Amino acid sequence: MTDIEIARSVQPQPLETVAERVGLEPGELLYYGYNKAKIDRRVFDRVRDREDGKLILVSAITPTAAGEGKTTVSIGLADGLRRIGKRTVAALREPSMGPVFGVKGGATGGGYAQVIPMEEINLHFTGDLHAISAANNLLAAMVDNHIYHGNELDIQRVVWRRCLDMNDRQLRNVESGRGGKTNGVPRDDGFDITAASEVMATLCLCDDPQDLEERLGRLIVGYNSAGDPVRAAQLNATGAMSVLLREAINPNLVQTLEGTPVLIHGGPFANIAHGCSTVQATRLARKLADYTVTEAGFGADLGAEKFLDIKCRQAGLWPNACVLVATVRALKSHGGAPKEALATPDLAALEAGLCNLTAHIETLHGAFGLPLIVALNRFVTDSEEELEMVRAHCEKLGVRAVPAEVWAKGGAGALELAQAVVEAAESSSGEPNFLYPDEMPLADKIRTVAKKVYGADDVAFSEEAEQGLARLTELGMGSWPVCMAKTQMSLSDDAKKRGRPTGFTLRVRQVRASAGAGFVVALTGTIVTMPGLSKRPAAVEIGFDENGQIKGLF
């Protein structure tokens, strides 16, 4: 059966029953239909003094067209942990509709390791991303309106961009305000995708509604003639923005096919933003559960590094163990095997591709010092010789590789993985080990990530980037962590370089302050903040079948 057929064959459990498994009471659920709800903020106060459960971070090797199944393994692991008697909650990101209609279709797992209601989650869900877009664009409108009506704040350069929850390359660079004086002030402008917006990052890193409003006030919308930043608070925009986000700030509760509770909340991209679900969802999950399974987007060089150096640094978190997802197919792709040959056993290509797995192990287990389990997301075409080669390679590097068959078996296919994770987490100190200290200069933070995580020889900063780093340091942002905007398809800044590239220099062309989120974004290579659709986007396959059911989403 297909993913969608499997999901439709399973009868969802009442959400009240799912909530009860982690001590949530019926009156604490704010329903959006039958199978999804927001969690009332009173719960945060009720569970505040509880001891935190264990935190498990799931990451992956560098993505390939073969697929790695990080979300599928995260869901299957959560089900597996519950099967061995652990009170478990998964904390995952919300899908953006841009990728759903653009590159890959749905993003709620697969097979018997899925989150439901999958179609609703992948489309409008509870409206969080729309609320973020509205708050972002309200601020943009207030900036241009302020300039139109006299510009009392002397805004000379606008840096605040509008956003849209859809891939649309046509909007990357536009000229706005055309058509005469009554239509505004003409200027070069552009759009970001909502998942890469600063409002998204700000909401995902805030502690509570009060902290959110304070962070929104710090958003930099432009600079005056003296070169000083003009912030959202000076436009009196933060109150209205907070009102638009009043429901979006609350975590969303759904369930896996096996009835394990899942908090899906926040959806920043990991190749542009910090790639993790919200701080609030993670904290709440740890109060509700013995084990919280969370994931960070794309490979460990992006999502995991940012989860650890940005989210954990700001929120006072640290994982008790980490799971690194890999597939034999993807490793063969990194070793040079063509996509059409990935189902054929090929020990030579696999051996050549193990260098990518090694790089991520050295980052998570070596540089960050995390207890690490490699989850071999198994395909029926994997040969025993190939699986043994990966297991032996991991053993040489001091980590354990465990098979996961969650697509075919759900939680039952993750029992060995769940037990290995428990053993690793129980032996963990949970002490943070960041890649760089706060006081390190911003340029050196970028170099540290580039050299220790990506394997770069050095970093080349454009003149614009050097000037930007100097100015942001003058403005008091030198102690902030850095958020690397880089292609997810390679450890380098060149998407065509697979495996473990060497002998390259990372190119940083521009830096931006994400003042509400509290980090500095470094744009590398040719990365853009508004993706485009592929030549044949997933949208062309999506529609209704003869029974009125959605087709083509998965």
Catalytic residues: 70, 72, 93, 104, 270, 298, 379, 407
Give the closest residue to 378 by CA, choosing from 69, 36, 138, 146: 69
If you write DSSP's letter for every residue of 312-359 in order, what string do you get? Answer: IHHHT---SEEEEEE-HHHHHHHTT--GGGTTS--HHHHHHHHHHHHH
Q: Find, among 529, 369, 367, 394, the residue nearest to 450 by Cα.
A: 367
Q: Take residue 286 and report the two structure tokens written for it.
A: 């740890």
DSSP letter for 126, please.
T
Between the alpha carbon of residue 255 and those of residues 32, 34, 71, 117, the distances in Å are 14, 12, 14, 8
Q: Is the dihedral of CA 465, 470, 476, 482 positive or negative?
A: positive
- DSSP one-letter string for 224-290: ETTS-EEEGGGGT-HHHHHHHTTTTTSPEEEEETT--EEEE-----TTTS--B--HHHHHHHHHH-S
With beta carbons less than 8 A apart as the criterion, state whether 422 and 84 touch.
yes
- Give me the long-range contacts of 100-103 (CB less than 8 A, separation at least 24): 100/538, 100/553, 101/166, 101/167, 101/533, 101/537, 101/538, 101/539, 101/542, 102/167, 102/531, 102/532, 102/533, 102/534, 102/537, 102/538, 102/539, 103/167, 103/531, 103/534, 103/537, 103/538
Of the candidates 255, 168, 244, 142, which has an alpha carbon nearest to the alpha carbon of residue 203?
Answer: 244
For the CA atoms of 271, 305, 295, 71, what is the dihedral angle to 10 degrees? 50
Residue 151 burial (CB count, 10 A):
12
Q: Helix, strand, coil % (nearest 5) of the chain?
A: 40, 20, 40
Distance of CA 15 to the CA centre of its chain: 25
Q: Is 212 helix (H, G, I), strand (E, B) or coil?
A: helix
Q: Can you say whether residue 96 is alpha, beta or left, with left for phi > 0 and alpha for psi between -120 and 50 degrees? A: beta
Round to whole Å and give the CA distance between 131 and 122.
16
Please give the single-letter amino acid code of residue 100.
V
Contact 193, 530 (CB under 8 A): yes
Give me the helix-helix angle, 198-205 and 128-148, nearest 10°. Answer: 120
Compute the distance between CA of residue 189 and CA of residue 430 in angstroms, rounded to an integer.
Answer: 45
Which of 189, 163, 191 lies closest to 177, judged by CA? 189
How far apart, in whole angstroms, are the C-alpha atoms of residue 192 and residue 531? 8
DSSP state of 163: E
Residue listed under structure tokens 């409108």:
141
